[in-house]
Amino acid sequence: MEPVRIGILGLGTVGGGTVALLRRNAESLRRRLGRPLEVTRVAVQDPDKPRPADLSGIDLTTDAEGVCTDPDIDIVVELVGGVDNAEPLVRAALGHGKPVVTANKALLAERGNELFRFAGEKGVDLAFEAAVAGGIPIIKALREGLAGNRIQSVHAIANGTANYILSRMRTQGLEFEEALAEAQDLGYAEADPTFDVDGIDAAHKLALVAAVAFGTPINYDALHMEGIRAVTGEDIQFAAEMGYRIKLLAITRPAVDDGVEIRVHPALVPESAMLAGVEGVFNAVEVVGDAVGPTLYYGPGAGAEPTASAVVGDLVDVARTLGAPPEYRVPYLGFHAEGMREPRWAPIEEVETEYYLRLQAKDQPGVLAQVTRILAEEGISIEAIRQKEPLPGEEDVPVVLLTHTTRERAIRKALAAIDRLDVITGPSQMIRLEEVGTG
Ligand code: HSE
């Protein structure tokens, strides 16, 4: 059988892993597909740079657009990253009738609706398993395996770097900056860690997951996003003393009143929760379906061959349906175009959950009475309250509270009032507490 000819744009970590994996597993892939998958051209910025991958028989070029328009290429794999530089390349390939496999979460989170529409007009595939949670096949699970369900919630640890930092803060008693420096030394975090630690990378992934879970257009702008910079070693320690761990979670679920919640933020999870056991750079996604109940998908969220595993999985799918009419393929986001609905994206103030609060207070009589009065006025019920020892060299004391389930609007209003009290000496901390599955 004729080989399926693949052009790859970008030969960084994932590109190199993809070439290596296609070579190493060539025979088993041929058995699965009935045809060989063959990388014939790769576009790179610097063709003279030494590469770890075996590139024999591959045409290395600096002309990325030429790969996208080459009539001898059947499928284009976009691994250059970025939004403005990648979009024209993806459009060029789709415009020339070539399916595209991409790992580019930022591109799809921000321009995905237009790109899927364009791919649809051209009648070609645009596959993106590698864009979400690296090697975990969560897009396929949500789009196909769980298609019989109405999705009730998705809670994901979708950024390995942030998870590594929080894990090290807990196990080694580090502060955020120390754990970040360690993650940078190990090559997990970039010199500019913004995407990972401010929640942007997890948010890009969540925007795609929500669309696939609920059959909505991708709406990155609807997302509420908070990163992990404000989580202190104290918070992690206090949470642990109460039986919780702090994770950066990407969450989407039907909203309490109406619509869909979509949010990325640090959250307390019980230490008995399955997600609490996900440590280091690993990712995990917990999906609850109305029929199946809770399911958990765990694995490496980054890295050369784990991400290449997702790219090659997509290549097999796309190669199987090359030239087939679009109605024979799974829709890009898993829902028929006529079944897609823009929901009401619920604002964060409508979220109902439990809350961890840490206040910095003067150590004098009546402080707790003032705090609890304000919480009571907002109808917030307290589950636990503890005054901690002052930090060395400080007179103020941390006061930690856990609330029962309440509305975020009420918590915000109460905290604003608490922070205005004379006896409160620093800004208060608020971290949501999420109900997730226990093992
Ligand atoms: N930088 C990401 C992470 C991997 O730390 O999980 C790529 O999205």
- pLDDT value, residue 389: 81
List domains and CATH numbers for the chain.
Answer: 4-128 (3.40.50.720), 138-300 (3.30.360.10), 351-433 (3.30.70.260)
The minimum-distance atom of ligand 1 relative to the CA of 307 is: 7
- pLDDT value, residue 94: 98
Residue 210 pLDDT grade (very low, low, confident, very high; cuts 50, 70, 90)? very high
Q: Say if CB 295 and CB 156 are below 8 A apart.
A: no
- pLDDT value, residue 51: 86
pLDDT in tens, 49-87: 988 888 999 999 999 999 999 999 999 999 999 999 999
- pLDDT value, residue 317: 97
Torsion, Cα 38 41 45 51, to 10 degrees, reads: 40
pLDDT in tens, 348-392: 999 999 999 999 999 888 999 999 999 999 999 999 999 888 777
Q: Residue 385 is encoded by which pair of tokens?
A: 């309250």
> Average model confidence (pLDDT) for the chain?
96
Residue 65, helix vs strand vs coil? helix
Q: Let me know if 328 is exposed, middle or buried by CB neighbors in 10 A (0-12, 13-18, 19+).
A: exposed
Which candidate in 105, 122, 205, 247 is catalytic? 205
Q: Say if CB 165 and CB 171 are below 8 A apart.
A: no
CA distances from 438 to 150, 253, 276 (A): 21, 18, 9
The pTM is what?
0.96
105, 157, 186, 196: residue to mutate for ligand 1 pocket, most atoms within 8 A of CB: 196
**Ligand 1 shell residues, CB under 6 Å:** 159-161, 196, 201, 301-302
User: Is 413 marked active-site?
Assistant: no
Q: Say if CB 270 and CB 243 are below 8 A apart.
A: yes
- Cα–Cα dist 238/245, whole Å: 9
Arithmetic mean of pLDDT, 87-97:
98
Q: Read off the amino acid at residue 19.
A: V
Residue 439 pLDDT grade (very low, low, confident, very high; cuts 50, 70, 90)? low
14, 79, 161: residue to mutate for ligand 1 pocket, most atoms within 8 A of CB: 161
Is the pLDDT confidence value at 90 over 80?
yes
CA of 187 to the centre of ligand 1 (A): 11
- pLDDT value, residue 208: 98
- Cα–Cα dist 17/303, whole Å: 8
Residue 91, C-beta contacts closer than 8 angstroms, at least 6 positions apart: 115, 118
CA of 101 to the centre of ligand 1 (A): 18
CA of 160 to the centre of ligand 1 (A): 6
- Got the DSSP string for 328-390? GS--TTSS-GGG-----B--GGG-EEEEEEEEEE-SSTTHHHHHHHHHHHTTPPEEEEEEPPP
